Amino acid sequence: MVELADDILHHAALDARMVRVARSIKLLNMISWAASEQQNFLAGYAKGDYTLPNHQYPKYDFTEARRELAAVEKEADADHPLGHYVCDSARSWAIACELLESLGTPDVMKHSIRLFGRPDEPLPGGGPTTREAAHHFIEIANELDKELLAPSEQVQISATALQLQLQASLDDFFDKREIEVVLDPELIAKAAAGAHRIRLRTGAAFSDYDRHQLIEHEAMVHSLTALNGKEQPQLQSLSLSSPRTTATQEGLATFAEQITGSIDIERMKRISLRIEAVAKAMEGADFVEVFRYFLDAGQPPNESFVSAQRVFRGVPTNGGCAFTKDTVYVRGLIGVHTFFRWALRQRKLRLCRMLFAGKMTLADVQRFEPMFDCGALVPPKYLPHWVSRANGLAGMLAFSLFANRIRLDQVIASEGLFELQ
């Protein structure tokens, strides 16, 4: 039994207070639309009725929650690794409260930007903006010769068949029923993951890439970090999906897809289309215009509705506002990829493993290093295979580090053609 210092116990107690409040702040659930919204809109649209959806949100009052979060933040030591984490987390949950209290108004976008950023922000390292990166992936996807697709990439898998396949794979990984895969007819998105349950939309069709993405992205990152967070004896909040950890969580999950070969260019296109749609909505496009944007990009009507709904969660649908969460995917992916390369160069690959010990940011895991060393935080109980195999991970990152030093435009300008001597 590790004897912990008073400063650690103090912040553990503050974290417990924060968790009691945070469990009632289910941001994404509280701003989601009912499945009937999709049915009503598509039925009307098919008849030429372009009426904007007008989802009615309940009224929330989080006055007491915000007061308690402010008290927790005030009592935490921002110079302590755990205190810094508690302060940032309490502040993030308080912003989420303000967002939920303003549902259906333009103020939601203001709070959303505070939590998730906006599409015109530069990527880590001062490179292009998130929106510019999205344009890059969309252009590459549009240029791909569809005749190159293998037959296996075009076969559709039913939700029922996928449920059985995923359940078998997850039971095998955990050696028990740790995560249950269920069908949900009320789910608007094709899939959603929690700590112990993955939901699939009843009647949805999935591809083989979808199957691998659900395992690597949803199960082996989102569910797995929640399960590992529950194992933390001092910081139980590491099991919760805090708004401030969203960019790292989604970036880590998308990076997992990439490094395992589970992502395809159409997936990158879908992510990028959402980023561009957020920008269009902020510039004035209404729900119908954004819906048509997805239709024109090749998505079927039901998926176009789902994509447009993601953009307008919580905000008015008549244009000028957006829920900006989808901007974190590319920014998070670039951030996580850069962090992993940095960790290899600094001989700190251990931090990449510790990133799975709960839901945290890249800055958190660096500050937490002494907390892992002293036993205040425990290593992750579960790790994806690609992380646990250090040699393979190091090999991939080592190549990436070197390859990034080669400028493709300069090679083409100087050589004209690729020649290997």
The per-residue pLDDT for range 21-51, each reduced to its tens digit, is 999 999 999 999 988 899 999 999 999 999 9
pLDDT at 16 over 70: yes
Question: What percent of the chain is modeled with pLDDT above 90?
Answer: 74
Q: Which tokens hold the place of 79?
A: 């110079």
> What pLDDT is recorded for position 307?
96
Report residue 129: phi and psi, to 5°. -75, 165
pLDDT at 302 over 80: yes
> What pLDDT is recorded for position 404?
66
Q: Average the pLDDT over 268-289 and give the result.
A: 97
Residue 403 vs residue 289, higher pLDDT: 289
Residues near 36 by Cβ (< 8 Å), separated by ≥ 6? none
Strands (E), 64-173: 157-158
pLDDT at 401 over 70: no
Does residue 242 contact residue 229 with C-beta atoms inside 8 Å?
Answer: no
Please give the model's pTM, rounded to 2 decimal places.
0.90
Residues near 170 by Cβ (< 8 Å), separated by ≥ 6? 178, 179, 181, 198, 215, 219
Q: Average the pLDDT over 297-316 and give the result.
A: 95
> What pLDDT is recorded for position 215?
94
pLDDT tens-digit readout, 342-388:
988 888 989 999 999 999 999 999 999 999 999 999 999 999 998 88
Q: Which of 123-127, 261-265, 334-338 reaches the highest mean pLDDT?
A: 334-338
Reported as a pLDDT band with limits 50, 70 and 90, residue 230 is very high
Q: Which amino acid is at 113?
A: I
- Distance CA(237)–CA(274), nearest Å, equals 29
How would you class 167 by CB atoms within 10 Å of its CB: exposed for 0-12, middle for 13-18, buried for 19 or more?
middle
Largest Cα–Cα separation, the chain: 70
Q: Average the pLDDT over 147-167 and give the result.
A: 79
- Distance CA(61)–CA(98), nearest Å, equals 9
- Distance CA(57)–CA(148), nearest Å, equals 46
Query: For the chain, what is the total number of helices (H) and then of strands (E)?
Result: 21, 5
pLDDT at 395 over 80: no
Does residue 322 contact residue 282 with C-beta atoms inside 8 Å?
Answer: yes
Report residue 201: phi and psi, to 5°. -70, 125
Reported as a pLDDT band with limits 50, 70 and 90, residue 127 is confident
> What pLDDT is recorded for position 77?
97
> What pLDDT is recorded for position 421?
46
- Helix, coil or strand: residue 133: helix
Q: Which amino acid is at 421?
A: Q
Q: What is the number of alpha carbons within 13 Å of residue 115 lying toward its C-beta?
A: 31
Out of 123-127, 206-210, 319-323, 402-406, which region has the weakest mean confidence (pLDDT)? 402-406
pLDDT at 411 over 70: no
Out of 56-65, 84-93, 125-134, 386-395, which region has the weakest mean confidence (pLDDT)? 386-395
Q: Which amino acid is at 303?
A: E
- Distance CA(397)–CA(402), nearest Å, equals 9
pLDDT at 310 over 90: yes
